[in-house]
């Protein structure tokens, strides 16, 4: 084994450096996994938010459109519009509650 001027064993130093590099690589991999998991959670949250918004807008617009068309057809303005708008709101909130109360495993 070769020794340098300070009397340290070069082979032992190489083993420590190799061990340190391995630990750094494991730590970097663990950090990438952790950051990837938090990014995935953020993506899931924004996806759920977009879905909730779509359900709310869809329920309101759908109910109002059906009510307006039926009012035009039967001449009962504005009663069917109000009834179907209310039904659209109820359906939208029902779907939103169903979406947001799912268990994580589902």
In a domain, residue 106? The reply is no
In a domain, residue 73? The reply is yes
Q: Which two tokens stand for residue 4?
A: 């340098």
Angle between helices 79-100 and 10-74 (to 10 degrees): 160
Q: Which residues pair with 89 in a beta bridge?
A: none
Q: Count of domains in the chain?
A: 1
**What is the DSSP secondary structure assignment for residue 7, as one 8-state letter?**
-
Give the per-residue pLDDT at 81.
96
Give the per-residue pLDDT at 1.
47
In a domain, residue 39? The reply is yes
pTM: 0.57
**Tens place of pLDDT per residue across the chain (106 aa):** 455 555 555 555 688 888 899 999 999 998 888 877 666 666 778 888 999 999 999 999 999 999 999 999 999 889 999 999 999 999 999 999 999 897 666 5
Give the per-residue pLDDT at 21.
92
Rounded Cα distance between 20 and 27, Å, is: 10
In a domain, residue 30? The reply is yes
Domain of residue 41: give its range. Answer: 10-100
């Amino acid at each position: 084994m070769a020794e340098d001027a300070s009397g340290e064993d070069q082979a032992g130093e190489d083993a420590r450096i190799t061990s340190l590099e391995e630990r750094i690589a494991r730590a970097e991999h663990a950090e990438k996994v952790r950051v990837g998991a938090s990014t995935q959670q953020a993506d899931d949250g924004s996806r759920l938010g977009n879905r909730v918004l779509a359900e709310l807008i869809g329920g309101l617009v759908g109910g109002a459109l059906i009510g307006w068309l039926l009012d035009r057809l039967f001449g009962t303005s504005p009663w069917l519009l109000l009834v179907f708008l209310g039904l659209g709101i109820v359906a939208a909130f029902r779907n939103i509650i169903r979406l947001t109360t799912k268990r994580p495993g589902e």
